[in-house]
């Protein structure tokens, strides 16, 4: 089983190119089945989740061809099955985006109940509420969510919780419903806006994405398009925090600084310097880190997907910090692993009370999920000695060439496959 072997202590220095946003690529790939014409998508990250989704799309008859590592050509005119029951698809959350896309186009879909990271109860009641409001029947049978409709008719939908997934799914189905749909209390994340822009480029009529009221006028048919996915806010944020914890100087390139505001402002608060240009951000960490408080919130608040990374930084900051997780109730599972590296963190409910320590010491730790896994890598890069991170398949779900990009910044990190390879790594780095 592959592991990351890390020798900590090197400040990360240099520039790193940020890839396309995984959480925008997934709904955009799914939405590309909504037209029979050819769609070209650029800046697709080459990560496990996008591979699984494209494989599932191929299994129902969608032509997906790679044209280089980050560009795909998709044609969905030959779909022969509206049942998506791939073994792998259950493992990724975004499988359910095919539900909204196929329901919109064919008025019927059956998709395996989604999995994804185990970070708490991940209800789908708002997706179901939205589909039903549009006139669809929705039921769960034999591990599949099934939905069908005679017609989809536009309506007003108030989301009881701000949900990225439900906003996206309902937006897709409604974009091919008859008449106008209004989604109130919609999610405002950059990837919601990116999907709306993509759908509009195929002929949809969606206004207000990025605010909490999205207005959609249904259209009958979409056409082909060529589209480039936005940069990944969370990949960028992870490298920014890698700079912070290693006392480094890292420039993230090909980013949209506006999407990173909540992350940049927390880095400033804890004592880093930030320089901003059009499409890059430089983070310099030259002083001891300060404590702060942070609460995860829907965009434009601080993202829950950056919560483990900021906790890793705050555990090295002078004084007491408090991190409150308000989106998912089970997102502190990595804290036990961090404690094994010397962190002093007490979790009470959805709050972590962190008393900063001067340093981490290397240990063997396991990734409990995607973002926490990446955060443990950051801890390893900051730690004294050697850290081994297990279960890196979680990290590979969302980070392309993570170890190679870190190596290019001066990190000592390698993938090892056996005890022998680990020993070789230890001998090599001395
Ligand atoms: C998406 C992201 C994930 C990110 C999360 C929050 C993708 C593939 N994943 O996940 O990385 O951490 O947004 O920014 O884009 N909820 C309900 N009922 C529902 C749907 C959600 O109660 O029908 C609750 C969830 O339990 C959670 C909150 O709403 O507490 C937010 O979830 P949601 O925004 O839907 O997250 P995902 O779309 O699953």
Q: Is the pLDDT confidence value at 195 over 70? A: yes
Q: What are the counts of helices (DSSP H) followed by strands (DSSP E) for the chain?
A: 14, 24
Distance 153 CA to ligand 1 centre (A): 25
Longest dimension (CA), the chain: 68
Q: What angle do CA 114, 329, 293 make, to 5 degrees?
A: 130
Q: pLDDT-based confidence at 394, cuts 50/70/90? A: very high
Tell which residue, 257, 215, 217, 220, has the closest CA to residue 240: 257
Q: pLDDT-based confidence at 38, cuts 50/70/90? A: very high
Q: pLDDT-based confidence at 100, cuts 50/70/90? A: very high
Given the residues 117, 155, 272, 280, select the one marked as catalytic: 117
Are the C-beta atoms of 213 and 182 separated by less than 8 Å?
A: yes
The tens digit of pLDDT for each residue in 221-234 reads 999 999 999 999 99
Annotated catalytic residue 117: yes
Q: CA-to-CA distance for 377 and 4, rounded, in angstroms? A: 8
Instruction: Give me 215's structure tokens.
Output: 């207005």
For the chain, domains (ranges, CATH) are 3-19+231-429 (3.65.10.10), 22-228 (3.65.10.10)
Which of the listed residues 163, 295, 301 should we mutate to test ligand 1's pocket, taking the one with most ligand atoms within 8 A of CB?
163
The tens digit of pLDDT for each residue in 338-358 reads 999 999 999 999 999 999 999
Which of the listed residues 140, 161, 300, 373 should we mutate to test ligand 1's pocket, taking the one with most ligand atoms within 8 A of CB?
161
Bridge-based pairing state of the strands 72-75 and 39-42: antiparallel
- At 90 the pLDDT is 73
State the SS3 of 220-283: CCCCCEEEECCECHHHHHHHHHHHHHCCCEEEEECCCHHHHHHHHHHHHHCCCEEEECCCEEEE
Q: Which atom of ligand 1 is nearest to the CA of 125?
A: 23
- At 121 the pLDDT is 58
Instruction: Give me 76's structure tokens.
Output: 């969905």
Q: Which atom of ligand 1 is nearest to the CA of 120?
A: 26
- At 120 the pLDDT is 55
Q: pLDDT-based confidence at 91, cuts 50/70/90? A: confident
Do you find a cis peptide bond into 134, omega within 30 degrees of 0? no
Tell which residue, 198, 193, 172, has the closest CA to residue 103: 172
Q: CA-to-CA distance for 256 and 210, rounded, in angstroms? A: 15
136 backbone φψ class: left, alpha, beta (φ>0; ψ -120 to 50): beta
Residue 10, CA distances (Å) to 98, 249, 339, 367, 413 in order: 43, 11, 21, 22, 11
Give this prediction's pTM: 0.96
9 backbone φψ class: left, alpha, beta (φ>0; ψ -120 to 50): left
Residue 331, CA distances (Å) to 20, 189, 261 in order: 25, 20, 22
Instruction: Give me 78's structure tokens.
Output: 């030959």
Q: CA-to-CA distance for 57 and 41, rounded, in angstroms? A: 15
Q: Which atom of ligand 1 is nearest to the CA of 165?
A: 38
Q: In what order do the strands lie in the sheet with 273-276?
A: 13-17, 249-253, 280-284, 273-276
- At 114 the pLDDT is 73
The total number of residues shown for the chain amounts to 430
Q: Whose CA is nearest to atom 38 of ligand 1?
A: 165
Q: Is the pLDDT confidence value at 237 over 60? A: yes
Instruction: Give me 62's structure tokens.
Output: 């969608």
The tens digit of pLDDT for each residue in 147-184 reads 999 999 999 999 999 999 999 999 999 999 999 999 99
Helix residue ranges per DSSP H, 144-249: 164-174, 190-201, 233-245
* Residues facing 148 on adjacent strands: 108, 137
């Amino acid at each position: 089983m592959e592991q990351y072997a890390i020798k900590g202590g090197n400040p990360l220095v240099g520039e790193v190119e940020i890839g396309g946003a995984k959480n925008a690529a997934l709904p955009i790939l799914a939405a590309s089945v909504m037209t029979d014409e050819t769609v070209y998508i650029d800046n697709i990250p080459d990560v496990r989740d996008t591979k699984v989704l494209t494989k599932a799309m191929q299994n129902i008859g969608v032509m997906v061809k790679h044209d280089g590592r980050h560009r795909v050509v998709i044609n969905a005119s030959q779909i022969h099955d509206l049942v998506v029951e791939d073994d792998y698809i259950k493992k990724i959350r975004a499988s359910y985006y095919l539900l909204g896309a196929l329901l919109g186009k064919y008025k019927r879909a059956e998709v395996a109940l989604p999995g994804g990271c185990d970070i708490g109860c991940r209800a789908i009641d708002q997706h179901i509420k939205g589909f039903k409001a549009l006139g669809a029947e929705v039921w769960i049978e034999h591990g599949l969510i099934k939905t069908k409709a005679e017609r989809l008719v536009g309506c007003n939908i108030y989301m009881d919780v701000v949900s990225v997934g439900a906003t996206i799914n309902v937006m897709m189905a409604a974009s091919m419903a008859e008449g106008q749909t209004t989604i109130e209390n919609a999610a405002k994340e950059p990837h919601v806006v990116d999907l709306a822009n993509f759908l509009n480029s195929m002929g949809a009529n969606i206004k207000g994405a990025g605010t909490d009221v999205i207005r959609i006028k249904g259209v009958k048919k979409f056409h082909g398009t060529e589209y480039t996915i936005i940069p990944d806010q969370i990949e960028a944020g992870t490298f920014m925090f890698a700079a912070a914890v290693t006392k480094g100087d890292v420039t993230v390139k090909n980013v949209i600084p506006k999407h990173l505001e909540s992350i940049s402002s927390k880095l400033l608060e804890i004592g880093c310097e930030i320089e901003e240009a059009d499409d890059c951000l430089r983070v310099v960490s030259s002083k001891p880190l300060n404590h702060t408080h942070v609460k995860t919130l829907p965009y434009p608040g601080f993202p829950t997907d950056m919560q483990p990374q900021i906790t890793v930084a705050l555990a090295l900051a002078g004084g007491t910090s408090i991190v409150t997780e308000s989106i998912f109730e089970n997102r502190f599972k990595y804290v036990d692993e961090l404690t094994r590296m010397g962190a002093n963190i007490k979790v009470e409910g959805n709050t972590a009370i962190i008393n900063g320590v001067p340093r981490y010491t290397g240990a063997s730790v396991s990734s409990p999920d995607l973002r926490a896994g990446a955060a443990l890598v950051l801890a390893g890069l900051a730690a004294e000695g050697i850290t081994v991170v297990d279960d890196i398949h979680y990290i590979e779900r969302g980070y392309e060439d993570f170890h190679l990009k870190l190596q290019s910044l001066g990190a000592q990190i390698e993938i090892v496959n056996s005890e022998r390879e680990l020993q070789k790594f230890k001998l090599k780095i001395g």
